[in-house]
Chain A
């Protein structure tokens, strides 16, 4: 795991974070539920809580789908290529490429179809970008959520040990949980963090 330079994180007084969707996207409840599931995965292993807000002004995190140049100097490039990007804490900017074909199913796609589809699993990308919003950078561990690339049709939504260790360096574990490491997927390579659990 890695962090942004200076290791920015949400301040201690901010453990309850709110998120809102850009209203112009007119997202269905089904799509919004995908993001709720993605936030829950991080909430389970940290002291952070995430609540949906209807107010863009009051929300800590704003989520929107955009195409091409959309005002932050990081234009999207059409289907595939870059899929989404997110800011480091405490900015809370979460942008997804509106030109992608997003899959919002919870089921894994058949491996037979994987290599020939350009559809991207939304929850996988959401879990990754939320990692950035909370302060994690990219990881070289291929099984980790914070690994930067994902193949079309692939689905990777469970936090790996590497992700959990990284986020708990920033915020500590969930006081009501087991820390998540008992149930996390094992990652290859024998990564060590030096963190005392």
Chain B
């Protein structure tokens, strides 16, 4: 559907705003390595979809393993979120945002955050 201005958007569209393809990830807040939580396998699929997990395996487990932790850390780096390797609130807020379907990483590599250099000045 196309809307020419915001006033033509029906109220239902506003009510549905919080419904996202990835809204279930919100309940994973606070998960950490060693835990097994329903929904983590879906999150692993998300990270594979965008290139953060490169395995061809389809049957992901709900274990918070090293592979997931590594994927989260790389994701946090790419989106300028403090790198903790944990599913903290700021990381989940970013994950559930609508986004481009192209992967951030291809064949396990990414230059997404490579071009950013910080200059320091000696006083």
Binary contact readout A115-149 vs B (1 if CB under 8 angstroms, 0 otherwise): 11111101001001100100001111110000011
Q: Is B60's CB within 8 Å of the partner chain A?
A: no
Residue among A105, A107, A110, A132 with the highest chain B CB neighbour number at 10 A: A105
Contact A190 B100 (CB under 8 A): no
Q: Which residues of chain A are within 8 angstroms of B104 by Cβ–Cβ distance?
A: 137-138, 148
Identify which of residues 1-48 in chain B touch chain A, using a CB-to-CB cut-off of 8 Å: 1-6, 9, 13-14, 16-17, 19-22
**Contact count band on B:** 35 or more
Contact B102 A148 (CB under 8 A): yes
Contact A103 B19 (CB under 8 A): no
Q: How far is the CA of A152 from the CA of B101 in the complex (A)?
A: 15
Contact B6 A80 (CB under 8 A): no
- The stretch that binds B, out of A36-44, A47-55, A56-64, A71-79, is A71-79
Our pick among A28, A84, A107 for the contact of B100 (Cβ within 8 Å) is A84
Contact B6 A82 (CB under 8 A): no
Q: How far is the CA of A186 from the CA of B78 in the complex (A)?
A: 20
Q: How far is the CA of A75 from the CA of B96 in the complex (A)?
A: 18
**Contact count band on A:** 35 or more
Q: Which residues of chain A are within 8 angstroms of B20 by Cβ–Cβ distance?
A: 79-81
| Given the contacts A2-B110, A31-B2, A122-B2, A83 and B119 also touching, CB distance less than 8 Å | no
Q: Which of B's residues lie within 8 Å of A, judged by CB?
A: 1-6, 9, 13-14, 16-17, 19-22, 50, 78-80, 94, 97-102, 104, 106-107, 109-119
Q: Which of A's residues lie within 8 Å of B, judged by CB?
A: 1-5, 28, 30-31, 74, 76-86, 101-105, 107, 109-110, 113, 115-120, 122, 125, 128-129, 132, 137-142, 148-153, 162, 166, 189-193
Given contacts A78-B21, A104-B2, A150-B97, 5 further A-B pairs with CB under 8 A are A2-B111, A82-B101, A117-B17, A153-B6, A193-B115
Query: Can you list 9 A-B pairs, Cβ within 8 angstroms, ordered by A?
Result: A5-B109, A78-B21, A80-B21, A81-B99, A110-B6, A119-B13, A137-B110, A152-B98, A192-B116
